[in-house]
Amino acid sequence: MKAYKYLFSLTVPLSISISLFVKGASWFALIYAFLIIPALEFIFKSSNENLSSSLEQKYVNSKYFDLILWMTVLSHFVLFYYFLEISYQSKFDMALLGKIVSIGIACGVVGINVAHELGHRKSFVERYASLALLLTSQYMHFQIEHNKGHHRHVATPLDPATARYNESLYQFIPRSVIGSWLSAFKLDRKQTLVFGAIQVLLILIIYYFYDLKTMLAFILAATIGFILLEIVNYIEHYGLNRNVTSSGRFEKVLPKHSWNSDFIMSRLALFELSRHSDHHANASRKYQVLRSFEDAPQMPTGYPGMMLLSLIPTLWFKVMNKRLKVLGIANG
């Protein structure tokens, strides 16, 4: 039963399917992601239970968990294709706008999230599948910056994707978007430019085979996708810092340098992304074996609820700065 629970992740592409294909339900994916799931977080308690060592080894070797990932990858590209077809055949109205938002959620919640998981794998197929997923959000440089930059500099002033103490979401997003691209460019100029060219080519292909309206719908959906990623970046490390050691270097990345959330519904929907503390301390661990740590700072709810909270800086600071003070971090 513990393994079957990850089938819940497929409810996210299902909600997007409903938005695309069910008449009058264009906004359902938004409602599901940011109303229904946060509501369920209040019903189902969080759990810090970890797998036993024997079960963990069994999970690592099981192809079942990879199968769920690949089912999600396939669903994403199928939904992306039908979104283009629907956009081409529809007039621009509130119904189409709802579908654009829905596929934007698919790009951010499904595409980038699964790309993040596969991008840490070693196989050629998995890493290129990760890039293909990132292409749908026009954010292919994420694989360069995240793996080579963010994981190295997280929770330091060198990381554009780490939100600073008392920095609002609206200050953070432009800084992170621009800074992350520049970081990727510095890390691998040739590859970053190649990725950029591929992204522009996709836009031109959509314009050629469809029309201007469909191209603009895609650009808007992709923008929603990477903005959702940046909101997640904001909540994952807000206000946390790695200390400088006597050697002048930053201390090793530890679970305490990422916000953790053990709320079960968003954990399952996001392939355990919210157990982010273990991911940063042990980047090669697969999603199904990520652990909860006692010394990891805890969010008061799951990711969707925290993302909504971050939209209101006054409330965000009131909740999160208090938690930082408890941790002994009062001034970023």
**Per-residue pLDDT reduced to its tens digit, 225-253:** 999 999 999 999 999 999 999 899 999 99
Instruction: Write down the mean pLDDT value for the chain.
Output: 95
Amino acid identity for residue 239 in this structure: G
How far is the first Cα of the chain from the last one, in angstroms, to the nearest whole number? 42
Contacts for 190 with CB less than 8 Å, ≥ 6 apart? none
Is 331 a residue whose pLDDT tops 60? no
* C-beta separation of 271 from 117 below 8 A: yes
Ramachandran bin of 50, using left for φ above 0, alpha for ψ from -120 to 50, beta for the remaining angles: beta
User: Whole-angstrom Cα distance, residue 44 to residue 323?
Assistant: 22
Instruction: Give the DSSP letter of residue 249.
Output: S
Amino acid identity for residue 156 in this structure: T
**Per-residue pLDDT reduced to its tens digit, 56-98:** 999 999 999 999 999 999 999 999 999 999 999 999 999 999 9
* C-beta separation of 173 from 154 below 8 A: no
pLDDT number for residue 204? 98
Reported as type and span, the H/E element at residue 82 is helix 64-89
- How many angstroms from the chain centroid is the CA of residue 321? 23
Instruction: Give the DSSP letter of residue 6.
Output: G
pLDDT number for residue 332? 47
Is 210 a residue whose pLDDT tops 50? yes
Amino acid identity for residue 273 in this structure: L
User: Whole-angstrom Cα distance, residue 227 to residue 234?
Assistant: 10
